[in-house]
């Protein structure tokens, strides 16, 4: 069992030394120094036993073991005096005197005479146990939180020593299995002293980064695991079984494979990171690192990820969420629409910005009993957290996150970090939208420059047609009806190309009967149109020319997308204070990314010979009248364009 003793005591020495160094790095004051001394003394004894396993409690190892108990006693005495006040001074003197006498006797017997001294050591261990018990019992509720862990760790080890020394006093020899078990128990108890040092309340920030602490803790845990596997394999080999060597090799190989799997498991890494943040750091986050991570994620356009994905990840990584959905306001005022999904389905969904879920700028855990949560989970799957994106006094959007990889405590510090990141992401999205609008305006401006020459030629043609009408109206009146209509159409186009002040008002005071206008539009179309309407059909507050232009574009696009001979379905209904006109086709449908990025961008088209104006113009005309245009599409299932217009009264068509 010598090899097993070397492994156990060597591992315990490494852990004790690491804990002592960590305590000195993060703590200040005499109390913390005594805790580091207690861990260091245990490490020295464990190292001496690993070097001389044949004599674990004799000679140098025996002397260091007695000094270890004396150091524990001194550390507990210091904490006891802090807790007990004046009364603690008298009791401390009594315990200190007894400890000095017991230490001197034990050192004389074990260090000089090189003989076992179980009785003297038993008295010293008993003093440590009594001190730990008095320390825990004397402390009030407020101070017990600071002294509980040292009392449990050192008192528990001393209690185990009582059993060890009592057995030695009866059998006149020390039990090797109990000594090895003491090494394992020491390795488990020393981290409690490190946590106690953090609780002192006067710690300073560790001089190493959180990444170093994380990877260092990972190596320590991996080393402990491999030491345990190696010790078990050594036991099997020492048993001299036929399959002992085979089992040892198999266990070591399996342990290495298990560590490799654990190192690549994100959920396990998340649990370890949360454990270190909760117990070994003064703050939960390294804010400098979090800020650099957020900026790096938002600006990492070289990886090809869409801006919406980067916006989601900038928030999701802070709470270790593996996926999310972004809903944002596209400027129409109708609500929040789907803008992007990261590791979640891409489903179009629109929510009102006035929901209580978006009140304020604080992240909220989704309530499973809420109807909005049910709607969101039905579209995107499991969702956990809603993070509003406030900007410029309003709501720019919201990010909905999937449950984290490991259990995550959403405390005040995490909520404040999410609020800060949400403001940064909202600013990022607003700047991108402004840049996109600037590009669109430049494209429209270039198009307007080219169209100005066309408008000049059209004006010339209009003048020629008007002159023809003035001279020939009396002779060929019937033939010139068509020419008059063409001239009126061209003049209307020229008027629309004039300055904004020359164009009549938006026409919001004008109203149309949608069903009547749609029947007239359908009658002039070369493709079949199927009309449906509620009775009575409502009136819509929009100029007739704008209504005809917008719906004409939508019906033409639906006909182009539909199979030959398939009618375009048009439905008129009333929803609250709005008139809804749905134009539906059974074509191939559109991808969510195309709807988000290309459909309503002017001069952007995927049709051969198309201008890229129709859908954009239709939505702008509707918005000028106080309405909006929504899109519901699915690949392979067709598209429905929902025209939303303000309602004014009702009439029967």
Q: Is the pLDDT of residue 636 over 80?
A: yes
CATH number where 635 lies:
3.30.565.10
Q: pLDDT at position 650, please? A: 45
- The average pLDDT across 444-451 equals 70
Q: pLDDT at position 280, please? A: 54
Query: Could you tell me if 276 and 403 lie in one domain?
Result: no
Query: Could you tell me if 547 and 401 lie in one domain?
Result: no
Q: pLDDT at position 641, please? A: 93
- The average pLDDT across 7-32 equals 84
Query: Could you tell me if 606 and 533 lie in one domain?
Result: yes
Low-confidence winner among 293-297, 430-434, 535-539 (lowest mean pLDDT): 535-539
Give the residue from 622, 632, 600 showing the smallest Cα distance to 613. 600
Q: pLDDT at position 195, please? A: 85
Q: pLDDT at position 367, please? A: 86
Domain boundary among 151, 170, 204: 204
Q: Is the pLDDT of residue 625 over 80?
A: yes
Query: Could you tell me if 268 and 297 lie in one domain?
Result: no
Query: Could you tell me if 137 and 27 lie in one domain?
Result: yes
Query: Could you tell me if 273 and 377 lie in one domain?
Result: no
Q: Which residues, at least 6 apart from 383, have a Cβ–Cβ distance to it below 8 Å?
A: 325, 366, 373, 376, 377, 400, 401, 402, 403
- The average pLDDT across 490-519 equals 65
- What DSSP line would sit under 357-418, residue for residue? GGSSS--EEPPTTSHHHHHHHHHHS---EEEEEEETTEEEEEEEEPPPSS-----HHHHHHH
Q: pLDDT at position 408, please? A: 79
Residue 338 pLDDT level (bands cut at 50, 70, 90):
confident
Query: Could you tell me if 217 and 186 lie in one domain?
Result: no
pLDDT in tens, 218-257: 666 666 766 666 666 666 666 655 555 566 566 666 666 7
In three-state form (DSSP H/G/I as H, E/B as E, the rest C), the secondary structure along 331-349 is: CCCCCEEEEEEECCCCCCC
Q: pLDDT at position 325, please? A: 92
Domain boundary among 204, 231, 252: 204
Residue 292 pLDDT level (bands cut at 50, 70, 90):
confident
Q: Measured between alpha carbons, how far is 576 from 628 in angstroms, rounded to an integer?
A: 15
pLDDT in tens, 589-624: 888 888 888 888 776 666 655 556 778 888 888 888
564: containing domain = 514-650
Is 423 within a domain? yes
Q: Is the pLDDT of residue 500 over 90?
A: no
Domain boundary among 390, 412, 433: 433
**Facing residues of 578 across strands?**
575, 646
Is 307 within a domain? yes
Query: Could you tell me if 69 and 193 lie in one domain?
Result: yes
Contact 498, 527 (CB under 8 A): no
Q: pLDDT at position 288, please? A: 80
Is 137 within a domain? yes
211 vs 653 pLDDT, higher one: 211
Residue 406 pLDDT level (bands cut at 50, 70, 90):
confident
Query: Could you tell me if 296 and 276 lie in one domain?
Result: no
Rounded to the nearest integer, the mean pLDDT of the chain is: 76
Query: Could you tell me if 254 and 177 lie in one domain?
Result: no
pLDDT in tens, 181-202: 888 888 888 888 888 887 775 4
- What DSSP line would sit under 568-597, residue for residue? EEEEEEEETTEEEEEEEE-S----HHHHHH
Name the residue with tokens 């195309």: 594
Is 155 within a domain? yes
Q: pLDDT at position 505, please? A: 45
Q: Is the pLDDT of residue 328 over 90?
A: no
Residue 584 pLDDT level (bands cut at 50, 70, 90):
very high
Is 443 within a domain? no
- The average pLDDT across 297-317 equals 83
pLDDT in tens, 53-82: 777 767 777 778 778 888 888 888 888 777
Q: Is the pLDDT of residue 652 over 50?
A: no
Is 21 within a domain? yes
- The average pLDDT across 550-564 equals 88
Low-confidence winner among 102-111, 487-496, 557-566, 628-637 (lowest mean pLDDT): 102-111
Is 477 within a domain? no
In three-state form (DSSP H/G/I as H, E/B as E, the rest C), the secondary structure along 128-140 is: HHHHHHHHHHHCC
pLDDT in tens, 108-135: 555 443 344 566 677 777 778 888 887 8
| pLDDT above 90 as % of the chain | 6
Q: pLDDT at position 268, please? A: 63
When divided into structural domains, the chain yields a total of 4
Q: pLDDT at position 111, please? A: 45
Q: pLDDT at position 619, please? A: 87
Q: Is the pLDDT of residue 32 over 70?
A: yes
Burial class (CB in 10 A: 0-12, 13-18, 19+), 132: buried
Q: pLDDT at position 112, please? A: 43
């Amino acid at each position: 069992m010598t090899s097993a003793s070397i492994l156990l005591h060597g591992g315990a020495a490494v852990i004790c030394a690491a804990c002592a160094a960590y305590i000195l790095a993060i703590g200040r004051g005499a109390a913390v120094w005594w805790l580091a001394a207690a861990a260091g003394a245990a490490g020295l004894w464990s190292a001496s036993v690993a070097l001389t396993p044949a004599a674990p409690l004799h000679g140098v190892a025996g002397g260091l073991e007695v000094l270890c108990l004396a150091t524990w006693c001194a550390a507990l005495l210091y904490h006891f005096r802090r807790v007990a006040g004046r009364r603690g001074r008298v009791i401390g003197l009594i315990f200190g005197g007894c400890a000095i006498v017991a230490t001197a006797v034990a050192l004389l017997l074990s260090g000089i005479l090189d003989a076992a001294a179980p009785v003297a050591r038993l008295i010293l261990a008993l003093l440590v146990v009594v001190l730990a018990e008095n320390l825990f019992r004397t402390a009030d509720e407020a101070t017990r939180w600071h002294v509980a862990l040292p009392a449990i760790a050192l008192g528990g080890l001393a209690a185990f020593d009582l059993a060890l020394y009592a057995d030695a006093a009866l059998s006149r020899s020390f039990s090797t299995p109990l000594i090895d078990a003491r090494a394992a128990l020491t390795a488990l108890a020393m981290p409690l002293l490190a946590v106690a040092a953090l609780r002192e309340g006067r710690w300073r920030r560790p001089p190493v980064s959180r990444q170093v602490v994380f990877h260092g803790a990972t190596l320590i845990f991996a080393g402990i695991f491999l030491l345990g596997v190696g010790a078990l394999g050594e036991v099997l080999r020492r048993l001299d079984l036929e399959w002992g060597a085979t089992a040892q090799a198999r266990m070591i190989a399996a342990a290495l494979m298990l560590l490799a799997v654990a190192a690549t498991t994100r959920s396990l890494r998340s649990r370890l990171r949360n454990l270190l943040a909760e117990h070994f750091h003064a703050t939960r986050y390294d804010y400098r690192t979090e800020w650099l991570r957020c900026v790096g994620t938002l600006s990492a356009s070289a990886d090809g990820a869409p801006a919406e994905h980067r916006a989601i990840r900038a928030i999701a990584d802070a709470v270790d969420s593996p996926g999310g959905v972004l809903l944002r306001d596209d400027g129409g005022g109708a609500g929040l629409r789907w803008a992007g999904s990261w590791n979640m389905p891409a489903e179009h969904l629109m929510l009102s910005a006035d929901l209580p879920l978006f009140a304020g700028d604080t992240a909220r855990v989704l309530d499973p009993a809420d109807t909005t949560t049910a709607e969101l989970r039905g579209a995107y799957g499991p969702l956990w957290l809603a993070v509003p994106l406030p900007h410029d006094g309003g709501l720019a959007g919201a990010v909905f996150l999937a449950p984290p990889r490991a259990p995550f405590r959403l405390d005040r510090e995490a909520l404040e970090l999410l609020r800060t990141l949400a403001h940064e992401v909202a600013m990022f999205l607003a700047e991108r939208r402004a840049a996109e609008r600037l590009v669109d305006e430049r494209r429209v401006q270039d198009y307007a420059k080219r169209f100005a020459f066309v408008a000049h030629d059209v004006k010339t043609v209009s003048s020629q047609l008007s002159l023809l009408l003035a001279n020939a109206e009396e002779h060929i009146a019937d033939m010139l009806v068509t020419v008059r209509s063409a001239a009126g159409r061209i003049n209307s186009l020229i008027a629309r190309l004039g300055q904004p002040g020359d164009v009549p008002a938006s026409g919001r005071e004008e109203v149309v009967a949608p069903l009547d206008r749609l029947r007239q539009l359908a009658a002039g179309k070369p493709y079949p149109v199927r009309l449906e309407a509620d009775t009575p059909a409502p009136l819509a507050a929009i100029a007739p020319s704008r209504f005809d232009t917008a719906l004409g574009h939508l019906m033409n696009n639906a006909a182009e997308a539909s199979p030959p001979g398939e009618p375009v379905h048009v439905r008129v209904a009333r929803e609250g204070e709005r008139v809804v006109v749905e134009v539906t086709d059974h074509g191939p449908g559109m991808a969510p990314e195309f709807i988000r990025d290309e459909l309503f961008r002017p001069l952007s088209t995927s049709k051969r010979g198309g201008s890229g104006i129709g859908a954009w113009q239709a939505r702008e005309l509707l918005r000028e009248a106080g309405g909006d245009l929504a899109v519901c599409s699915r690949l392979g299932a067709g598209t429905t364009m929902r025209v939303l217009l303000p309602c004014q009264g009702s009439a029967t068509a």
